[in-house]
Structure 1
Amino acid sequence: MTTKITPWSRRRFLAGSALTLAAPAILTSTRAYAANPFIRVGHVSPRTGPLAGFAEADDYVLGAINQAFAAGLENNGKTYGVEIISKDSQSNPNRAAEVAADLILGDEVDLIVAASTPDTVNPVSDQAEINEVPCITTDCPWQPYFFGRNGVPGEGFENTYHFFWGLEDVIGAFLDMWDKSGVAKTVGGLFPNDADGNAWGDAELGLPKPLAAAGYDLVDPGRFQPLSDDFSNQIAAFKAAGCEIVTGNMIPPDFATFWAQSAQQGFAPKVVTIGKALLFPSVIDALGPRGDGLTSEVWWSPNHPFTSSLTGDSSKDLADGYTAASGRPWTQPIGFKHALFEVVADVIKRAEDLEDPAAIVAAIAATNLDTITGTVNWADGPINNVTKTPLVAGQWQRDGDALDLKIVANAAAPDIPVTGDLKLLA
């Protein structure tokens, strides 16, 4: 859908029966804002489908944000209510574009936010760009976000902004960890035929060049289709090359299939470092004893030395709060979902004119905010519309009855403490 709307000729007020709420989708404060203006924020996330792990904590985060926004936000002497409308991308890019268009054209949101891989972030950002709606996104390496949307360096985008780390950061974190391992520098690459996989495996922008520069040989058998049921060709190629390290980026079901078939076919690498698939405790638990020792990037953890600009909570406070409320272990997206709304609050407070989308975009571009994930400052980024957050590397290690994600390499972000030593799988 590419219908373009006229920038904000409208202004909405909550008053009595003037607005009918779509209860399942709209998360608003119970506080009444009779005759007070409000800002409507659209939120898109993969609550269902193979990427649902990224949205596991959405209800908790949105509930806490809604509470933080309950008294409204001040802008130019007025108190604005904030209404959040959250929709499920179903882990499908087409669905993400559809619900983003619904938010923009149907719900008439003033600002839209999205998170969790290019499959959600890119189509939402594209809809916002087409319709001239301010947009903030996260949880996606910046290269698939920028180049996957055909961004032109030096030009960028008008209305869409992104904060997260880049492939150069994840490669640096992985190399920092692998260099500590002492294993052979032959690496098997697992790259799916999707936006993430194509970016990670790209000959110019992905892993091949920096790995070669660091003395590592990358064995890349080619792209596989997501939700594959047979990784025999990849396993045979890795065994033939003597790969002691396996890396890549894939969804959890694909890694589970690969890892089970590796055991069946006698392939036992000493280090396995996979992006995306190994982020979540639920995935690691499902792997049983073979989850112990797997490694991944760490974007956020209870040990990150950052504090929320919105609530004053530390990273540990936020993680512990989720565990207390849900009974489940913390997950990395919690921090970034929270940080999205830290930036939203900051932008709403600073925008010169909340009636004007261009003024909201200008406030986004001028952001310089210390968040629970680090500093968000679009004046200090690698390319237009992008700013970066710190990244380290970690390993799932047995800690009593549970597996805990230990930070084992932090060369690029020494202020984030190491909490364990790397152990080999075999």
Structure 2
Amino acid sequence: MKTFTSNANAIFSGSRRSTLKKLGGLAAASMLPFPAARAATSLKIGYVSPQTGPLAVFAEPDPFTLDQVRKILASGITLAGKKYPVEILYKDSQSNSNRAADAASELILNDQVDIVIAASTPATTNPVADQCELNGVPCLTTDTPWQPHFFGRGGAPDQGFDWTWHYFWGLEDIIGVFTGLWEQIPTGKTVGALWPNDSDGNAWGDPKMGFPPVLAQKGFTLVDRGRYQTPSDNFSSYLGAFKEQNADIVTGVIPPPDFANFWAQAGQQNYRPSIVTVAKACEFPAAIESFGSRADGLSVEVWWSPAHPFSSSLTGQSAAELAQAFTQYSGRPWTMPLGFKHSLFEVVVDVFKRAAEHSPEAIRDAIRSTKLDTVVGHIDFSPGPVPNVCKTPLVGGQWKRREQGLDLLIVENSQAQQIALQGNLAPIRYS
């Protein structure tokens, strides 16, 4: 892990203290004394999620997850020998980092929650975790690669954080998955990059810790015109560069609306790469469906699927059974965030049950000592790769058209061989 921790503070954000100072007025407001302890009459979970805005596709499983969890917890949770009713307070980040910070602050200062949970990219998890760290409130986050989350918040590998814990895969995993995909079929090994000017894009494109050095080592040529400003509806300069340099692979980490614009313009300009592997945009059935016939053959990392060999500690459902229950509830295909949204509540319930008393410190200590098998895999923060972080497995998939429609099949598992392959990568076929 040395590659991903050396000098990381300087690369991602600077010192942890300076990162928190950048929060300005929000930080100043949060420096007020923590509210007087309320009567411990219930357990309150604060949940921040992008219900609206360009990241709303990440929140598609939320109604199902909240309905399922509230039913399971209707009789309460026993913490330190006493049974408490459970409240879940759900806040919309509006896909905006400032609003995510405000939502977390409201949950902490106004609602006085016992724990805050969040998911769905650094725009949500980072500001939420920062507010919890400032106010001394336990926090659990997921669905952000661990480097943009940890180092993007100024985390120091020799120190870590006091109140905030995170689990997901890292850049080393997705680089391994993507290059594993690309090496399956013959290409000219020229990669066109679509990396936006945001936490993810800057981390993925970082010349020291991101994709560039690994691609160079593996013999790939990178066509990188620099970071673009999102949202964007004009990718003509990128398409021109990709065509000029014969980039037969395209990669990126961009919101679905941006990729929809790029992919439509690529079709208009008759740009036909053999492989297109784009995170965020190609992860969701709702987005994939909007691409029409041009969705067939797109590839992407897969953090969770019905094929994953894990089960819920909360319901006993296998990954396949959870996915089926979601489809029966919503009428929609399974989606990757489903497993991770469910797993947040798995860990929270386990933490409450193990806490020595109803206090922030006891809940924090219970998070730190978590060792739990969940529907997304084993959660244990003690091995690292850095303090406060647990890694989850990652594989690669390709959207392939079948009689019932497009299906995302596992076609690369070099980073997590416990997850079985369902096929091989094939070049994109153009009509």
Q: Using structure 2 for the length normalisation, give the TM-score.
A: 0.91
Look up the equivalent residue of 2:291 and give its one-letter code.
L
1:398 is aligned to 2:425: no
- Rounded Cα–Cα distance in structure 2 between residues aligned with 1:344 and 1:216: 42
Partner deviation per Cα, 1:248-270 (whole Å, 9 max, x = no partner)? 10000100011011111121100
How do 1:99-138 residues align onto structure 2 when only pairs under 5 Å count?
99-138=103-142
Shift of residue 7 of structure 1? Answer: 5.2
- Rounded Cα–Cα distance in structure 2 between residues aligned with 1:153 and 1:264: 47
Partner deviation per Cα, 1:203-234 (whole Å, 9 max, x = no partner)? 11110111111111111111101111111111
How do 1:409-424 residues align onto structure 2 when only pairs under 5 Å count?
409-424=412-427
How do 1:258-407 residues align onto structure 2 when only pairs under 5 Å count?
258-354=262-358, 356-407=359-410
1:150 is aligned to 2:154: yes
Secondary structure of residue in 2 paired with 1:318: helix
Q: Using structure 1 for the length normalisation, give the TM-score.
A: 0.93
User: 2:35·2:109 contact (CA, 8 Å) conserved in 1?
Assistant: no
- Rounded Cα–Cα distance in structure 1 between residues aligned with 2:115 and 2:99: 19
For 2:82, the equivalent position in structure 1 comes to 78
What 5-or-longer segments of structure 2 have no aligned partner?
1-25
1:12 is aligned to 2:39: yes
- Rounded Cα–Cα distance in structure 2 between residues aligned with 1:81 and 1:108: 15
Shift of residue 413 of structure 1? Answer: 1.0
For 1:61, the equivalent position in structure 2 comes to 65
1:140 is aligned to 2:144: yes
Secondary structure of residue in 2 paired with 1:404: strand
Partner deviation per Cα, 1:78-99 (whole Å, 9 max, x = no partner)? 1122110000000011110111
Q: Report the CA distance shift for 1:370/1:7 in structure 2 as closer, same or farther (over 3 A).
A: farther
| Alignment size in residue pairs | 402
1:161 is aligned to 2:188: no
- Rounded Cα–Cα distance in structure 1 between residues aligned with 2:194 and 2:38: 49
- Rounded Cα–Cα distance in structure 1 between residues aligned with 2:146 and 2:158: 15
- Rounded Cα–Cα distance in structure 2 between residues aligned with 1:5 and 1:415: 48
**Residue 55 (structure 2) aligned to one of 51, 55, 62:** 51
- Rounded Cα–Cα distance in structure 1 between residues aligned with 2:85 and 2:171: 38
Partner deviation per Cα, 1:38-63 (whole Å, 9 max, x = no partner)? 21110000011000000011010011
User: 1:44·1:89 contact (CA, 8 Å) conserved in 2?
Assistant: yes
**Residue 43 (structure 2) aligned to one of 14, 39, 42:** 39
- Rounded Cα–Cα distance in structure 2 between residues aligned with 1:162 and 1:45: 15
What 5-or-longer segments of structure 1 have no aligned partner?
14-36
For 1:34, the equivalent position in structure 2 comes to none
User: 1:272·1:295 contact (CA, 8 Å) conserved in 2?
Assistant: yes
- Rounded Cα–Cα distance in structure 2 between residues aligned with 1:289 and 1:200: 28
Shift of residue 301 of structure 1? Answer: 0.3
Look up the equivalent residue of 1:333 and give its one-letter code.
P
User: 2:302·2:336 contact (CA, 8 Å) conserved in 1?
Assistant: yes
Shift of residue 75 of structure 1? Answer: 2.1
**Identity percentage of aligned residues:** 54
Secondary structure of residue in 1 paired with 2:184: helix
- Rounded Cα–Cα distance in structure 2 between residues aligned with 1:299 and 1:379: 21
User: 1:7·1:357 contact (CA, 8 Å) conserved in 2?
Assistant: no
Look up the equivalent residue of 2:234 and give its one-letter code.
D
Look up the equivalent residue of 1:319 and give its one-letter code.
A
Look up the equivalent residue of 1:416 and give its one-letter code.
I
For 1:181, the equivalent position in structure 2 comes to 185
